[in-house]
Amino acid sequence: MNADLEEEIGSINAIYGTEVLTRLTDSTIILDVPDAPVKLRVNVPSTYPLTSPIIDRPETSGTDLKRGQASAFAHKAHEILTSAFRAGEPCMFTFIDELKDVLSAEAESNVHRTKTRSATELETADKPQKSVHAVQHAIESEASGPAWTISEVVTEKKSVFIARAAYVPKPSEAKANVQHLLSHDKKAAKATHNITAWRMKDDETGVVYRDCDDDGEDAAGSRLLHLLELMNVWNVMLVVSRWYGGIHLGPDRFRIINSVARDAILKAGLVGESTQKENSHVTKKR
């Protein structure tokens, strides 16, 4: 198996805290999709990442899948993998992350249909209309969350780093976004550190809000906040997750933390004074 794939497998398994990717042969891996009752056999050519991996077939299917669902899931996975692949760039993490998003959306949709159906039954039984609204509000609240832009994964001496950037107009929303991330993303919740920083300005009052949290990684939060200032970024929050690999990195960890944070900001298109001028555009994207 080539070195790029070996490193990517190690990084992904470190992030998810489980054996998501298992090597079957030099050219075949088993993908145990998080939160999905199916495994996929993936063929990886020796020329990867210049050449795309290929979804071979479902390896196993659980009792939760009806007949034909495993094949349908494999087909959907193939479409997502095709979209995620860029020649010369490792794509397995992006592929898995997007696949998880699809699974979460489908699960959320199923919950929505179930709860809405239950609410309709309550209404038919002459229950107060308020019960229907309460159920719908609960569904919307559960589904709400920031539109994170995620950096490239960086692995250094078995430590894994990922940054997330998102538009935020209020400090209260930034805190809520962190809570939402840690309660809904299992791999982020398992990170050794989730370092945060945000910087906001109220256009009407001119009041500036900024805050940071090291989460045990001494001085890392203040360095993230300083990065936001250097990049002249407003109304943006950062969360950098680190999964410690057992080897101390020394000052290098700060270089990597800032590097992935900058990558997320650039990918989100939230750089410089354009952040303030293009708030309406960013809001539409959310």
Q: What is the pLDDT of residue 232?
A: 87
The predicted model gives 271-277 an average pLDDT of 49
Q: How much is the pLDDT for 145?
A: 67
Q: How far is C-alpha 117 from the chain's CA centre?
A: 30
- Segment 253-273 shows an average pLDDT of 87
Instruction: Work out the percent of the chain whose per-residue pLDDT is above 70.
Output: 74
Average pLDDT, rounded, for the chain: 78
Give the type of residue at 182.
Answer: L
ω into 49 cis (within 30 of 0): yes
Nearest-CA neighbor of 268 among 229, 241, 242, 239? 239
pLDDT category, 82, cuts 50, 70, 90?
A: confident
b/e burial code for range 133-158 (CB count within 10 A of at least 16 → b): eebeeebeeeeebbebbbbbbbbeee
Distances (CA, A) of 64 to 73, 107, 120, 162, 213: 13, 13, 26, 32, 41
Least confident of 17-31, 92-106, 181-195: 92-106
The pLDDT, as a whole number, for residue 123 is 52
CA–CA separation, 193 vs 281, rounded Å?
31
Is residue 122 packed enough to be buried (19+ CB in 10 Å), middle (13-18) or exposed (0-12)? Answer: middle
Whole-angstrom distance, CA of residue 257 vs CA of residue 142:
30
First to last CA, the chain: 39
pLDDT confidence band for 154 (50 / 70 / 90): very high
21-25, strands of its sheet edge to edge: 21-25, 28-32, 38-43, 54-61
At 212, the pLDDT band (50, 70, 90 cuts) reads very high
Strand, helix or coil at 47? coil
CA gap 241, 97 in Å, rounded? 15
Q: What is the mean pLDDT of residues 244-251?
A: 90
Q: When comparing pLDDT for 203 and 150, which is higher?
A: 150
Sign of CA dihedral 32, 79, 9, 102: negative
Residue 135 banded pLDDT, cuts 50, 70, 90: very low
Residue 189 C-alpha from the chain's centroid: 12
Confidence of residue 127 (pLDDT cuts 50, 70, 90): very low
User: Residue range 137-146: average pLDDT?
Assistant: 47
